[in-house]
Amino acid sequence: MIGIRQKIMFGFGGLLVAVAAIGMLTMAQIDDLGNAIDVILKENYRSVVACQDMKEALERMDSGILFTLAGNQEEGNRLIEAYTPEFRAALERELDNITLPGERERMERIKNLFADYTTAIPQVTRPDRPAEARRADYFSILQPLFTEMKEKAQEVLLMNQTNMNEANNAARRLATTAQQRMLAAIITAAFLALLFSHLVRRWILRPINRLIESTTEIRRGNLDLGLEASSGDEIGLLSQSFNEMTAALRQVRKKDRVNLMRTRLATEEVFKALPTAIAVLDLEGRVELATRTADRDFGFKPGILAADLGYAWLLPLIRQALDEGRIIEGAPLNGGGQRLMESRQYLFQPLAVPIPLDPEHRESTGVALILEDVTQGHEQLKEKLDVVSAVSHQLKTPLTSLGLSVHLLLEERIGPLNDKQTELLLAARDDSEKLVRILDGLLDLIRIESGKTQVSLEPVSPQALVRDAIEPFLVEAREKGVTMVNDVPDDLPEVMADAGKIRQVFADLLSNALRFTSPGGSVTARAYREPDQVAFFVEDTGKGIAPEHLSNLFEQFYRVPGQEDESGVGLGLSMVREIIRAHGGEVNAASEIGKGSIFRFTLPLGKTPDKPQRSLS
């Protein structure tokens, strides 16, 4: 049996042999070309240069002899002395580089002629001889020697040039032959590659494509298929294993369907029996599953569309949960499901929970709607507010009477007081005033939480808000040695706010900042534009607040440990939060021990409405 490994090795082995042969042939041809070029450059080229140098030196020496005949003895001797060594050096180079037949004989002839030439030069260049005799010796002796040496040097030069041309032509022929061989080798390798690709397609790709098609069918749910396992190689074994796998999957699917159906039915029955009203909706808003409570009280029947139920709050809540991918809680007093059942008004708080497709929560497949019964909690809150309100009103009357009595005593209208009595009465007056402030705060908070206090939103300049809020604290800050800074730009857009309520917010924040800022420190009010709102900041350089207390600052009656003696009863910041929320904004705090605190709240931008009323609830 020939397996896939052997088939692949066979195909790639042929390609490897072809590539190795092409490589070796290429190296051999390149080596031959290199040798041919080396002959051209190293052997003949040096001879050509040497012959040119000899001819140049002879020309210069002949010019020097003619200068002496013309009477310029000094220039002529200089040329002769300068170029005689150059001729000999070029002659020696050529004698050491003899490569062609007949080249040495010619060079030996030039060497002998040059010896005769140099021997005869003094006869012609001696200034004490008659000019006619010197000229006669030049033309009879030197001129023939000069001419013959140039001819011989030219012959050697032409011999080497001719050999260079022949070597160049041989290199070209060798290059052409190498090109033809390389082309033949490439065609052979391409043929082998095509043959191997055809065999790979037949041996491997076709069976693999059949496997891919089968896996696609399995993904679609078709397990009733089989592959032909005709070959005895690994593909055949894989096909056989694939058939066994599909048979096993069919059995598993059958068993899983039974288990899944049983589990689903059990889950649905348990889900329907839950006491809380819960409904599961798909992405189109169609109810897939609902508890009996949700069906009975709210009409969430399986198959019905949420849009057909007529709840104005339902679709926006579901859409927000799906868009933001997080749990969205609807406010019971702002559109929650209110039903009158058994002569009692029930209040339900809607909660939309997106159902993720995977653990990473990247995509939702639907939403679970939970309608929690908050009637009891709402009633208890109302009862608590009623009790606190009644107690606060009942306490204010005697406290007012007590305060008036203390005031009359301090004015000594009833009789004179000694120092100890005055001290006790002053302490009693301070404590009664503190109790009055606490009761006023409680009553304000009760009115806010019960929705009896309204905010009237109007366009207000942020600069004006901060300026009016800071002004009452300037004297106190100056007496304490604290710098009060208004760092709000004049060009900020107007915000929608109830100016009186926002001044109360600033009053609480600024009074706290002054209380905990030591002399020499500063309290700064800032504001910055954000996309749909303006953010306000109250910063101080005071003691700071530990990080573990920041999350509880805005809770009712919460006071930071260690600051009980300096802070109030813990109602100011909770009222700040309720006021800002009524404006549609948010408030938070950041702090660092020893460096101070920053309180931030936001107010929305918007056009001027017709005196809108928003409840503080």
Condensed to tens digits (0 to 9), the pLDDT of residues 227-277 reads 665 666 666 677 777 777 777 877 777 787 777 777 777 777 777 777 788
Listed residue (403, 286, 297) closest to 348, CA to CA? 297
pLDDT at 285 over 80: yes
> Which one-letter amino acid corresponds to residue 18?
A
Longest dimension (CA), the chain: 168
pLDDT-derived band of residue 303, with 50, 70 and 90 as boundaries?
Answer: confident
Q: Which tens digits make up the pLDDT trace of 452-461?
A: 556 788 899 9
Q: Which tens digits make up the pLDDT trace of 159-170?
A: 888 888 887 787
Residue 363 has a pLDDT of: 77
Q: Which residue has the higher pLDDT, 26 or 311?
A: 311
**Cα 348 from Cα 346, distance rounded (Å):** 7
Q: What is the DSSP string of 381-442?
A: HHHHHHHHHHHHHHHHHHHHHHHHHHHHHHTTSSS---HHHHHHHHHHHHHHHHHHHHHHHH
Instruction: State mean pLDDT over 438-460.
Output: 67
Q: Which residue has the higher pLDDT, 587 or 294?
A: 587
Q: Which tens digits make up the pLDDT trace of 463-512?
A: 999 999 999 899 999 999 999 999 999 889 999 998 888 988 898 899 88
Question: What phi and psi values does residue 578 have, to the nearest 5 degrees?
Answer: -65, -40
CB 523 within 8 A of CB 514: yes
pLDDT-derived band of residue 360, with 50, 70 and 90 as boundaries?
Answer: low
Q: Which residue has the higher pLDDT, 21 or 36?
A: 21
Residue keyed to tokens 């021990």: 593
| Structure tokens that stand for 561 in this block | 């440990």
Pairing of the two strands 344-356 and 458-460: unpaired
Q: Which residue has the higher pLDDT, 389 or 170?
A: 170
Distance of CA 611 to CAs 170, 454, 462, 477, 479, Å? Answer: 105, 11, 19, 36, 40
Q: Which tens digits make up the pLDDT trace of 400-437?
A: 777 777 777 777 777 787 878 788 877 777 777 667 66
